[in-house]
Amino acid sequence: MKPIYLDYNATAPLLPQAKEAMLAVMDAPMNASSVHRFGQEAKKQLNDARAEILHAVGADGHQLVFTASGTEANNLALQALPDVDTVFVSAIEHPCILKPAARLKASMIPVDSKGLVSLKALEKMLQALKAEKGEGAKALISIMLANNETGVIQPMKDIVALALNYGAFVHTDAVQCLGKIKLDFAEMNIDMMTLSAHKAGGPLGAAALVAKHGLHLRPQIMGGGQEKNYRAGTENLPAISGFAATARYVAASLIAPNLRDEMEAEMQKIYPAVRIFGLEAPRLPNTSCVAIADIPAETQLIHFDLAGIAVSAGAACSSGKVAVSHVLQAMGAPEDSAKCAIRISFGRHTTREEIKIFLTHWKKLINTLPNSKVIAA
């Protein structure tokens, strides 16, 4: 049987459009900082790619700094604004926000059981900052647009409205969103946004921090004057070209939620006690985080892997170990439920047939449960 890949939120297979764009610039010497004709051509390609990506995410006329990963762009975002007194991040951010945030002694915004940030708690934090440091005190709020484990989409309009009342900056990690939901940087009226090509079918090694026009950034990587001094290092033009082709293609054909919804409806029929995290909130169309009580995620992963099906347990840990998800814990999920959750994430080319096969193997797992557990968790 052909392996079935249902782990698109970890990384998506390379789109042919991306590969073609990469191959087109792979052979020539392409250093965009060189003065000669090769360099000029590289610079043109680089700036065309920049404009293309900005356009795809509704950010025409704004700035875009290319980085090597979403991780790097998030690290840059948290430390880029010199006039910030404090940083607020949500409790369900990716570790590449949470770890730099910890170093910056950031405060954590809690989420509710649906996985949505508490606007009340955020407002209290903003009020406390003003009370402590005076009216001019400035916060940077970093809240992901959609969560990588549950797919829950945050109410960015309400977050920005609140931030504007308190003069705070807003950054969003939109790494999981490109090609899944419409991205409109200008309409969101945020200050910074992170993107990463490989989550959308582009190559590894290309990502970006989009920043509001006129916002001055403090670089994290210094050296040459690339990226207007915001990020030194020769730009990875083949990967960036692949990123631009990806952004153009996926922004014009967003993934539909129908297959995911059909799968979840079927799961609820097979096993009424199934727990689907974030079900009551708006979610990405391709993501499903589901727990079968009493079967640890590792056991489920091995079961599916033996059947040739790739899914993941909550967040994919770089160590290959499965830890209890901080996201599900922040949503108040009891540990025994959180440790039994797996993430199924689709791509635009996932087929109904593949989901049918996945469900057959999922049912086999359910059949290992005693009857009483199938009805009530």
Interface ranges with ligand PLP (CB under 6 A): 69-71, 74, 94, 96, 144, 148, 173, 175-176, 196, 207
Tell me the torsion sign for CA atoms 362, 368, 373, 375. Answer: positive
In angstroms, give the least distance from the CB of 3 to ligand PLP: 21
> 11 or 234, CB closer to ligand PLP?
11
Cα 205 from chain centroid (whole Å)? 15
CB of 70 to ligand PLP, least distance (A): 3
CB of 39 to ligand PLP, least distance (A): 27
SS3 content of the chain, % helix, strand, coil (to 5): 40, 15, 45
Give the span between the Cα atoms of 189 and 167, in whole angstroms: 13
The two three-digit tokens of residue 197, written as one number: 């090509």
DSSP state of 14: P
92 with 326: CB under 8 angstroms?
A: yes
Residue 177 appears among annotated catalytic residues: no
The CA-atom distances, in angstroms, between 348 and each of 1, 121, 201, 285 are: 21, 37, 9, 10
Are the C-beta atoms of residues 193 and 186 closer than 8 Å to each other? Answer: no
Minimum CB distance to ligand PLP smaller for 45 or for 148:
148
Beta pairing partners, 66: 208
Nearer to ligand PLP, 74 or 236 (CB): 74
Nearer to ligand PLP, 173 or 354 (CB): 173
Which pair of structure tokens corresponds to residue 239? 């990967």
Q: Which two tokens stand for residue 142?
A: 């970093």
Tokens of 37: 């004709």
DSSP string, 291-320: E-TTS-HHHHHHHHHHTTEE-BSSSPPTTS
Q: Between 86 and 176, whose beta carbon lies closer to ligand PLP?
A: 176
Q: Which CB atom, from 260 or from 343, has the smaller least distance to ligand PLP? A: 343
Given 96, 289, 317, 340, the catalytic residue: 317
CB 228 to ligand PLP: min, Å: 22
Q: Sheet harboring 207-211: ordered strands across? A: 63-67, 207-211, 192-196, 169-173, 139-142, 86-90, 107-109
Q: Which is nearer to ligand PLP, 74 or 300 (CB)?
A: 74
Which token pair is 21?
């764009």
Least distance in angstroms from the C-beta of 247 to ligand PLP: 14
Q: Measured from the CB of residue 207, what is the shortest distance to ligand PLP in angstroms?
A: 5
Q: Identify which of 288, 297, 262, 302 has the alpha carbon closest to the alpha carbon of residue 345.
A: 288
**Closer CB to ligand PLP, 237 or 295, in the complex:** 237
To ligand PLP, the closest distance from the beta carbon of 69 in angstroms equals: 3
Sequence-distant (6+) residues with CB within 8 A of 317 are 323
Instruction: Please give the distance of CA 26 from its chain centroid, rounded to a whole number.
Output: 28
Chain residue whose CB lies nearest ligand PLP: 70
Q: How far is the CB of 358 from ligand PLP (least distance, A)?
A: 21
In terms of DSSP bridges, do strands 275-276 and 139-142 run parallel, antiparallel, or are they unpaired? Answer: unpaired
Give yes or no for a contact between 75 and 175, defined as CB atoms under 8 angstroms apart: no
Active site residues: 317
